[in-house]
Amino acid sequence: GIQVEQSPPDLILQEGANSTLRCNFSDSVNNLQWFHQNPWGQLINLFYIPSGTKQNGRLSATTVATERYSLLYISSSQTTDSGVYFCAVENRYQKVTFGIGTKLQVIP
């Protein structure tokens, strides 16, 4: 099956700092999503981004499908950004695979 690797596995930021999270995948994908899991366990979709660039407030994402990676940018981080960020891809057979996530802690 498709392999999904996320980096870094852990990240600690000072409030106000910027960061880039990366997702590499081993095969072509039909779609790619980024999710945020907050400290209470709730999973929220951030972006549906099989290719191109999207922005939503302080967050933006870019997927370069031909090079099999996606980046999630967080600018001016806030403590509420803490949690785990997951990348999930769907292959040509419509199977979804999640990466193991990047755990982000934003400290005041």
Partner 1 sequence: DADVTQTPRNRITKTGKRIMLECSQTKGHDRMYWYRQDPGLGLRLIYYSFDVKDINKGEISDGYSVSRQAQAKFSLSLESAIPNQTALYFCATSPGSGSPDTQYFGPGTRLTVL
Tell me which residues touch partner 1 (CB under 8 A).
1, 31, 33, 35, 41-45, 48, 86, 88, 90, 94-101
Residue 82's CB is within 10 A of a number of other CB atoms, namely: 17
Cβ proximity to partner 1, 75 vs 97, nearer residue: 97
Shortest CB 37 distance to partner 1, Å: 9
Q: What is the 3-state secondary structure (H, E, C) of 22-53?
A: EEEECCCCCEEEEEEECCCCCEEEEEECCCEE
Cβ proximity to partner 1, 5 vs 17, nearer residue: 5
Shortest CB 71 distance to partner 1, Å: 18
User: Of how many residues is the chain composed?
Assistant: 108
Cβ proximity to partner 1, 88 vs 106, nearer residue: 88
Task: Report d(CA 87, CA 72) in Å as an integer.
Answer: 9
Shortest CB 15 distance to partner 1, Å: 26
Cβ proximity to partner 1, 16 vs 60, nearer residue: 60
Q: What's the maximum distance between 2 C-alpha atoms anywhere in the chain?
A: 44
